Structure 1
Amino acid sequence: MITIADHTLSRLVSQTRPHVGNLIDAEAVQCITFDHDGQHLYAMATNRFTLAVSRTLVTGGSDEPWSAIVHRQQLPEMAAAIKLLDTGTVHIERTADQMILSGARGHRIAIDLSPYAKVPLDWRKLMLPSLEKPAAAVQTAMDPKFFGAWKNLPKPVQMWSTGEGRMSLIVAADFLGAQMPIRREGEDVALRQELDSWKAAAPTLAAAA
């Protein structure tokens, strides 16, 4: 069993829930994965276009590292647990097929683990090598329909591209995310033409100032 501070379970879920895959996606991405490494509890979700990892320090317990995959079908139960327990410290126990959440008042809620996805996605392998790369001086294109998925992050949110055709990293306090690029039609020529088309507005803006 491990213990996390009050109001942290809600943050972990709110920052990763928007990145859970839809019903039409593979079962492997219709989930939030929780994993404990002895120091932090992480929550991770991805829909293949964005990937989000939120973390909190473990304040008590001595469990060996574990992971637990919660399918989207169990997220309403997770929301109920958060509403009931989040104002106090939360104890988390990983059993063979459940993640059991309990609080100081004796409340105890068991969340069934995913019957579909058994092996968690290795987000560390995907993302951590990119942390060593400096921001790339290249243009990138992103799909704006995913921008709203980052709205629950605390300010400031920082972003940079890791290279041509590579993911852009999204960084905030105790949060690491990524958004995959989309193909840019016309590459730099089309971008330059679009930017140049705005130059005619400059005198009007200057006069208004």
Structure 2
Amino acid sequence: MITIPTGDLTGVLGDVIPFVFPDDDLPDLHCVRLEWDGTMLHALSTDRFRMAVSSWHPDDEPDADVQDDMFVRWGGADDPWTATLTLEDAKELVKVFKLPPKKQRVPLTLDFANEQVTVRRDRDTGYTAVRLDVPDQLAQFPDIRKLLADSDRLKPITGLMFNAKFLADFGKVRPRAPMQLSFTGSTAITHVGIGKRFLGAIMPLREGETS
């Protein structure tokens, strides 16, 4: 079990939801992958043309020593795990647990066990627990973090074209820093970084493509 501020869980999910494959005829991509690597929580998605990874680290909390947080230990001692949420379940978590801006740091717990994700928050918030079945842990979801790491060699280009709608979705990511584009070639993915905890990618249009 890990403990995370409500705003960070709904935040990482909300960051990657726009990049999920929209139709359920590709169930392996019509989903959000949650990965706890033992230290950080990552939310990941892809629609084949774009990839997105939004991450949270317990040390990201800027006010960890304030009075309200003195007895909250962010993070947890879980061994690494992965859980695949359907797009509908990911949206439901954001809808159910979303809080006003001034209450973003209300803690909740996230637990993955026995093919089930359980999210809990104190009763005084109005929601106690949501349990989601995630039995398909063998889904053919790509290793997005590895794909991004393996394609980080920058190359000079003279110009690229992008699907404007696909590129605009990166504007829905929490604006924690300016957007930075890093080019890896005229026909390879372009990296899209927003702050230190979001990294995405988008494929440029090929010559002759219009959208």
TM-superposition CA deviations, 1:21-63 (whole Å, max 9, x none): 1126511110000001011100001111111100001422100
Distance in 2, matches of 1:126 and 1:75, equals 23
The farther-off stretch of 114-123 and 62-71 is 114-123
TM-aligned CA deviation for residue 116 of structure 1 = 8.5
Give ranges in structure 1 of 5+ residues lacking alignment: 187-209
Q: Indicate the structure with greater helix content.
A: 1
Matches for 1:1-209 after TM superposition, within 5 Å = 1-23=1-23, 25-58=25-58, 59-83=74-98, 87-105=105-123, 107-113=128-134, 115=136, 118-131=139-152, 133-153=153-173, 154=175, 155-173=177-195, 174-185=197-208
Q: 1:103 to 1:91 in 2, by over 3 A?
A: same
Q: Give the conservation status (yes or no) of the 8 Å contact 1:68–1:113.
A: yes
Distance in 1, matches of 2:120 and 2:206, equals 46
TM-superposition CA deviations, 1:71-93 (whole Å, max 9, x none): 12323431343236955112110
- SS of 2:84's equivalent in the other structure is strand
The farther-off stretch of 69-78 and 33-42 is 69-78
Q: 1:6 to 1:76 in 2, by over 3 A?
A: closer
Q: Give the conservation status (yes or no) of the 8 Å contact 1:81–1:101.
A: no
Q: TM-score, normalised by structure 2?
A: 0.78
- SS of 1:53's equivalent in the other structure is strand
TM-aligned CA deviation for residue 130 of structure 1 = 2.2
Q: 1:183 to 1:76 in 2, by over 3 A?
A: closer
Q: 1:27 to 1:79 in 2, by over 3 A?
A: same
TM-superposition CA deviations, 1:147-182 (whole Å, max 9, x none): 221122313000021112100000012100000122
Q: TM-score, normalised by structure 1?
A: 0.79
- By relative contact order (CA 8 Å, sep 6+), the higher-ranking structure is 2
Corresponding residue for residue 201 of structure 1: none
The farther-off stretch of 142-151 and 35-44 is 142-151
The farther-off stretch of 12-21 and 97-106 is 97-106
Q: 1:33 to 1:41 in 2, by over 3 A?
A: same
Over 6 Å off, 4+ runs: none
The farther-off stretch of 51-60 and 62-71 is 51-60
The farther-off stretch of 137-146 and 5-14 is 137-146
TM-aligned CA deviation for residue 17 of structure 1 = 0.6
Distance in 2, matches of 1:119 and 1:64, equals 22
Give ranges in structure 2 of 5+ residues lacking alignment: 59-73
Distance in 1, matches of 2:179 and 2:188, equals 19
Residues matched between the structures, number: 185
